[in-house]
């Protein structure tokens, strides 16, 4: 995630990733969502 002010997309992806890690289901989709959210943050936050 991108520091103090993550985007809504990053927050949702992080929650999905946490849920997938706990349940063991949907890990691939959650990982893709997390990657997409992080890529989208690059222009926004200059990471």
Quote the pLDDT of residue 11: 92
Quote the pLDDT of residue 45: 58
Residue 27 contacts residue 19 (beta carbons within 8 Å): no
Q: Is-above-0.85 flag for pTM?
A: no
Per-domain boundaries in the chain: 8-45
Q: What pLDDT, in 10s, does the model give residues 1-47?
A: 556 788 899 999 999 999 999 999 999 999 999 899 888 877 655 55
Task: Give me the sign of the Cα torsion angle 14, 39, 44, 2.
Answer: positive
């Amino acid at each position: 995630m991108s520091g103090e002010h993550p985007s809504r997309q990053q927050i949702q992806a992080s929650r999905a990733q946490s849920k997938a890690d706990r349940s063991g289901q949907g890990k691939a989709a959650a990982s893709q969502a997390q990657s997409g959210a992080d890529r989208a943050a690059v222009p926004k936050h200059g990471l």
